[in-house]
């Protein structure tokens, strides 16, 4: 472990122990460095790294503060990292989605409000009308799933699922589904999810989401195999 890493670990320990709470201002740099037995240069490097990680934030003219430490901040970089995945790692991503999303959808069915249902229905109707408009299909598909997960009322789960939902991969899938005339079937799978949510049936909602994610994963695997053998498949998105 480098000296900078050790400095980062020392600050993190203060936060984990509760000595520094979310939203709390850090002591002045010189005092904190002395308290932790670190040089001011090491302290600055550690603070910079923790600012990038969204653990700390610098308020100009005021000082350095611990952030809210909310999952939407701490996991913010996940989506950017996911966009860099290629090949078999993208298939692993769909496996992760298959583990998370059905459970979240079942949870949503037990907690969903009329407002959430109305939002989900809006995006479902928009997808139905979009037909072969890939951009609109992709936009409302993402918003549909985002609204479903939001209805589960678990911000950490919502952030994780949002992070593993690659916009590039989603667009690629829709392009291929439309080319294969499978778009209507996929929209029907979304409708089944909505119907289960409207019925507040957790088991049915979880099953409908599992079917949808699994069929998407199967389609993607088949087309990756076609690309690998040079027999066709959707273009890279």
What ranges do the domains of the chain cover? 3-69, 75-229
Rounded mean pLDDT of 131-147? 91
Burial of 120 (0-12, 13-18, 19+ CB in 10 A): buried
pLDDT at 237 over 50: no
pLDDT, tens only, 203-215: 999 999 999 999 8
Q: What is the pLDDT of residue 188?
A: 94
Residues 6+ apart with CB under 8 A from 103: 206
CA dist list (Å): 92 to 82, 187, 193, 235 = 11, 24, 23, 20
- The closest of 144, 130, 123 to 183, measured between CA atoms, is 130
Q: Which residue has the higher pLDDT, 65 or 171?
A: 65
Please, are residues 66 and 26 in contact by the beta-carbon 8 Å criterion?
yes
Rounded mean pLDDT of 93-122? 95
3-state SS assignment for residue 169: helix
Which architecture, in CATH terms, is 75-229? Up-down Bundle (1.20)
pLDDT, tens only, 33-43: 998 888 999 99
Rounded mean pLDDT of 125-132? 90
| Angle of the 155-164 helix axis to the 134-151 helix axis, nearest 10 | 160
pLDDT, tens only, 145-172: 999 999 999 999 999 998 888 777 787 7
Q: What is the pLDDT of residue 231?
A: 58
Q: What is the pLDDT of residue 234?
A: 44
Q: What percent of the chain has pLDDT over 70?
A: 94
| Angle of the 40-52 helix axis to the 3-16 helix axis, nearest 10 | 70
Please, are residues 116 and 151 in contact by the beta-carbon 8 Å criterion?
yes
CATH of 3-69, one of 1.10.260.40, 3.40.50.10680, 1.10.10.10, 1.10.540.10: 1.10.10.10
């Amino acid at each position: 472990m480098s000296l900078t890493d050790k400095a980062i670990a020392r600050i993190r320990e203060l936060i984990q122990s509760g000595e520094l709470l979310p939203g709390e201002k850090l002591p002045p740099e010189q005092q904190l460095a002395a308290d932790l037995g670190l040089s001011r240069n090491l302290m600055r490097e550690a603070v910079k790294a923790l600012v990038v990680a969204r653990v700390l934030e610098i308020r100009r003219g005021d000082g350095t503060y611990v952030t809210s430490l909310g999952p939407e901040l701490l996991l913010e970089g996940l989506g950017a990292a996911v966009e860099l995945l290629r090949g078999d790692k993208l298939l692993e991503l769909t496996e992760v989605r298959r583990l998370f999303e059905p459970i979240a959808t079942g949870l949503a069915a037990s907690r969903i409000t009329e407002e959430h249902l109305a939002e989900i229905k809006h995006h479902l109707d928009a997808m139905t009308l979009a037909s072969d408009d890939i951009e609109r299909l992709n936009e409302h598909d993402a918003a549909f799933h985002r609204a479903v997960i939001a209805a589960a009322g678990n911000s950490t789960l919502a952030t994780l699922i949002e992070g593993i939902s690659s916009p590039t991969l989603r667009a690629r899938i829709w392009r291929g589904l439309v080319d294969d005339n499978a778009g209507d079937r996929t929209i029907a799978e979304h409708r089944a999810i909505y119907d289960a949510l409207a019925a507040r049936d957790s088991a049915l909602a979880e099953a409908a989401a599992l079917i949808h994610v699994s069929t998407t994963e199967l389609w993607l695997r088949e087309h990756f195999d076609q690309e690998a053998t040079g027999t066709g498949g959707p273009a890279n998105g």
